[in-house]
Amino acid sequence: MLLPSITRQSATLANRTLGSVSLRGSPRFLSVSRIVQGDDHHDARPPIMQGPGAKPGTVPTDLEQSTGIERYEILSRMEGHDPFDRKPLAVNHMGTLDNPVKVFSLERTRIVGCTGFPVDSHDTLYMKVSSSRPRRCSECGCGESSSRAIFQLRIKLAN
């Protein structure tokens, strides 16, 4: 077999070339935390969202076989909620510093796509909007005037 002999030759050549140099990388300093159970033995991990599964000999439905985030989405839609707030943003005015377009988010940052005002007046331009300061669209408005669309992030807490 050719492969082991090539590997041995490469290792021998490396030993001759490098001498006593260690081939190991630098030590890695990691801090790894683990889930710890208390005296009352309550599990600190989040619950597993898992369906009941299908009866033997049947094909499972989405509700029966879904798990995790997919199951959360299905159950939320059954209750009439949009779990990920994927509806288009209603923009009925040009955002300004005094009256920015409000974008709701569960996180401190969110990617927003601007299509201009009125809607579809330019190609979609995506930008990262943070809660620390408003973000201005570089396509909307004339030149460098202050009439460009301004988006501001509002943190919405989960129920």
Q: Is residue 60 situated within a structural domain?
A: yes
User: What is the sign of the dihedral through the CA atoms of 102, 138, 109 and 98?
Assistant: negative
Average pLDDT over residues 102-120: 81
- pTM for the whole thing? 0.46
Instruction: Give the chain's domain count.
Output: 2
Residue 108 sits in the same domain as residue 150: yes
Domain assignment present for residue 58? The answer is: yes
The reply to whether 142 sits in an annotated binding site is no
Query: Is 41 part of any known ligand binding site?
Result: no
In a domain, residue 121? The reply is yes
Among 55, 83, 111, which residue terminates a domain? 83
Q: Is 137 marked within a binding site?
A: yes
Q: Answer whether residue 131 is part of any domain.
A: yes
Per-residue pLDDT tens digits for 54-96 = 889 999 998 888 888 898 899 999 999 888 877 777 778 787 7
Where a domain ends, among 22, 54, 83? 83
Most confident range (mean pLDDT) of 23-27, 130-134, 150-154 is 130-134
Q: Could you tell me if residue 126 is inside a domain?
A: yes
Q: Is residue 12 part of a domain?
A: no
Give the model's pLDDT for residue 46: 66
- Residue 73 is assigned to a structural domain of this protein: yes
CATH of the domain at 124: 2.60.260.40
Query: In which domain, by residue range, is 145 found?
Result: 101-155
Q: 125 and 101 in contact (C-beta within 8 Å)? A: no
Range name among 35-39, 47-51, 99-103 with the lowest pLDDT average: 35-39
**Residue 114 labelled as part of a binding site:** yes
> 74: Cβ–Cβ under 8 A, 6 or more apart, which residues?
62, 63, 66
